Each structure stands twice: as C-alpha cells, then as structure tokens.
Amino acid sequence: MWSAATFGQALSVPPEKTPPPSPETVKMWQKEADEAQARIHTRWNVSIDLQMVAMDETKAFELISAFRSGEKKTVQAAWERLQAMLKSKEAVLLAWPIVRTVDQARAVSETLLEKRYATEFEPPQAPGDNPPPKKPEPVNKATVQGLPLAYETRNLGTTLEVEPTVLENGQRVYLRLTPQHEELLKMEGENQVLTTHNTLITVRQPLITHNKSDLNFTVNNGERQLIAVHKLAKPENFIELDLMRVVVRLAE
C-alpha cells in the first residue's frame, strides 16, 4: 500500500511530453501550406480535353500530316474532318476525358473497369486420391480447370493525369501530361501437365494492350495538338490518335 508521501511524489511527476517536430518537418509543412494557399488564390482556371480516336491507318496518315503542319487553318480543317468521320462511323471514339483544374495543381480523370483474373491454382484431385500406378498412365487430354487460389486485378479503360503551369499572362501553358488507355483483347488459354494425375489443366490469362505517353510540352492557349500516335493491336491496321486542347481563363 502506498503511503501519503509516496502518493504525493507520484502526483508530482510531470507527464511525458511529445517531442517538438524537427525544423525540416516544420519547413515541409509550411511549404505544403504555402502551395495550397497559392492554389486557392490562383488567377487561372485551366481546362484540358483529350480525344482518343481509332481509325484505319490510311486515313490516319493523312490527318497526322495535317495536324503536324502547325498551320491553324490546316489543323482546324483536319479537326473538322475528324469530327465528321466520327459521325459517319469512319472513325471510333475510344475515350474523351475532360479535366478542369487550376494553375500548378495536378488533376486526374479515370474511366476504369476492374478485371480480376486468377494467378494461382489448386490442381483438381482424383476421387480417393489413390497412389499413382507403377506404370505411367497416358495423358488425359480432356482439359480441366483448377481451383483458383489467388487473384490479381487490372484496371482497364482510360486515365488522364495533368499538371498545368500558366505562362505569359495566360497566353501559353506548360503541361505535364500522362494519357493512357488499356484494353482487354482476349483471355488466352495455356495448358500445363499435372504430374500427380497426368492430366492437362487449362489456365486462362488476360491479353491486355496498354498505350501510354509521358509528356512535357508547351502549348498556346486554345490550341489543339496531336500529342500521341499508337499502333493498335486490334482491329488490325488501325491507329489511335490522341488530340488535346487546353483552355485558360481568369478565375472569377
């Protein structure tokens, strides 16, 4: 049992104090706060839209030359022709993400479908699990599916990441931009021999195409540009064109 003196001494012990943050941590916090405050009071709103279009490579080559000419009238005519091709089904609109953000603030647009597929399997067991015979049995060519034990998830669809920096009082914009497009082509089947029962097991894995571009460039306010070209695996002889436009306006 505690005495009165011991109890009083215990009460007099000061509680433990949390050590103050280091100067480096304080500087990091201050920097993050300053950046957040600067974004709140930014002068500029930035809108970026990206058309991902697929078409026959013969028609795509003609448009690529027009978009790369750098002449406003030629680029505008190519854009109008492309929109007409979309309406007439000569071209296919794969995606059209639109992102709105402010000066020097990162933004992301995603349109995704999660595809889960098995990566590990438990072989099917024979009834009774009898020991294997002394002589090897012929391979059972009737394929069977093993019991899935582990899965992985792959995001299919379109992602657009952007971070704009407004220059020259809104006349130009420096962009850090990453568009990507993933699509499931098919589920492939591969056969493996099960040594225990000498049976073939079918393992189905996804075949996925992945088109991605990591870009850094400067563009005029309101200008439309061809920023990426990808050869598509399916349909054959088709090409994907990625066309971007950025618009800068004063924040109200």
Output the six-digit token pair for 82: 């492309």
**What's residue 185's pLDDT?**
72
Is residue 49 within 8 A of residue 96, CB to CB? The reply is yes
Residue 55 contacts by C-beta under 8 Å, 6 or more apart in sequence? Answer: 63, 85, 90, 91, 92, 238, 239, 241
Neighbours of 178 (CB within 10 A): 15
**Domain edges within the chain:** 43-250
For the chain, list residues with pLDDT below 50.
7, 126-129, 139, 142-144, 193, 195
CB 19 within 8 A of CB 66: no
Q: Where are the alpha helices (DSSP H) in 18-147?
A: 23-40, 57-67, 72-87
Predicted TM-score (pTM) of the model is: 0.66
Could you tell me which residues come within 8 angstroms of residue 165 by beta carbon, excluding any fewer than 6 positions away? Answer: 103, 104, 173, 174, 175
Our CA angle for 45, 242, 216, nearest 5°, is: 60
Structure tokens at 180: 């990507």
Report the DSSP pairing between strands 140-144 and 199-212.
parallel
- pLDDT score of 85: 95
Do 84 and 55 form a contact (C-beta atoms < 8 A)? no
Identify which of 231, 218, 243 has the alpha carbon closest to the alpha carbon of residue 78: 243
Q: Which three-class secondary structure state does DSSP give residue 237?
A: coil
For the chain, report the end-to-end CA distance as a whole number of angstroms.
72
Structure tokens at 42: 């930014």
For residue 82, which amino acid is it?
A: L
**What pLDDT shows up at residue 193?**
47
Task: Name the nearest CA neighbour of 182 among 209, 160, 201.
Answer: 209
